[in-house]
Amino acid sequence: MAAHRLLVLFVLCALAPGVARAHALRLSTGEVTIDGRRVQAVLQFARAELDVLRPEEIPATVQVSSDGAPCVLAGSSVAPVQEDGVAVTARWDCPRSPGRLRMALGFLGRLPEGHLHVALVRSPGATVQRTARASAPVLEVEAQPGAWAGAGRFLRLGAEHIFQGADHIAFLLGVLLLGGSFRQLVGIVTAFTVAHSLTLGLATVGWVVPPPRLVEPLIALSIVAVAVENLLSLRPPLSAERVRVAIAHRWRLTFAFGLVHGFGFAAALRALELPRALLAPSLLTFNVGVELGQLVIVALAWPVLRWLRGVGRVWPAGIRWASAAVAGLGVYWLVDRVVSG
């Protein structure tokens, strides 16, 4: 019985940090416009992220400089935005038109841990994106950057989206629980990758954009489906042939639900409302970040699960218990998203 508990504990510990906020990303956005000596920033936050910081206090925490010379805060305002958000608009006057603009975002140190700020900086020459967090709270841009100048930052955003999305991790663990050879695992993960890359691209460019109230429950349903398939494959009396066939055909299931997960990934990217000139580099690097995060999870989980399957009594009873735990989480998310959607 100890082996059963060990496996279930491993699965739950892998998912626990993000259960309450599955598929959520602590994110605020900004749009910074450079117009001669005037710099204007429109910063948008979810009100839930501002429980320890009043919106009116935010502009005073931002230090702006142009080529090393400080800019002066000229005015600010606060207005509500849709979906329980708030927009803070602030304007600074600089001593000269910025050749290099620097913005130190002091408010990041007072927001919840893990908060990420993604900003679009528009100048007469180009538009680029920059990211900041409490550990690196500074945005810096040059007046004439290239379209790819900041795209690499989306690599980290994509990886974080995987690591903070407990529902995506649950799906991957559910897939890995049943086992299979390394070659079969590569095929299964590749099918998932191809599928979500396809819908991530379609949704990000706006060609196919299903509503979140449909996508989010379907992601939860995919977790339930893969866990139930595990349970059906391992039902008594145990049949090695039945398990073998399930693993051989699993790529079809992961491809189908990979399409759904791609729409979920796209929601984070579409929320930034990137200009068309930034879509290609941002989409590419975000997707690469998603893949790297996914590969890290698989590389860590697969050898552990393979070892646990060799521990006495884990196969098949422990796998059934772990699959039931994954299915339970999927049902919880499914109900929560249907009710709140």
How do the domains of the chain map onto residue ranges? 2-24+164-340, 27-151
66-91 pLDDT, tens per residue? 989 999 999 999 998 876 789 999 99
Q: Strands 100-105, 138-142: parallel, antiparallel or unpaired by DSSP? A: antiparallel
Query: Between the CA atoms of 7, 8, 14 and 16, what dihedral angle is there, to the nearest 10 degrees?
Result: -160
- What is the distance between the alpha carbons of residues 326 and 11, in angstroms, rounded to a whole number? 8
168-212 pLDDT, tens per residue? 888 988 998 888 888 888 888 888 888 988 998 888 778 888 888
Q: Which residue has the tokens 């429109």?
A: 42
**pTM of full prediction above 0.75:** no
Q: Give the residue with greater pLDDT, 126 vs 53.
A: 53
Helix axes 182-204 and 276-309, enclosed angle (nearest 10): 160
314-341 pLDDT, tens per residue? 788 888 988 999 999 999 999 988 988 6
Cβ atoms of 138 and 105 within 8 Å: the answer is yes
Q: Is the pLDDT of residue 121 over 80?
A: yes
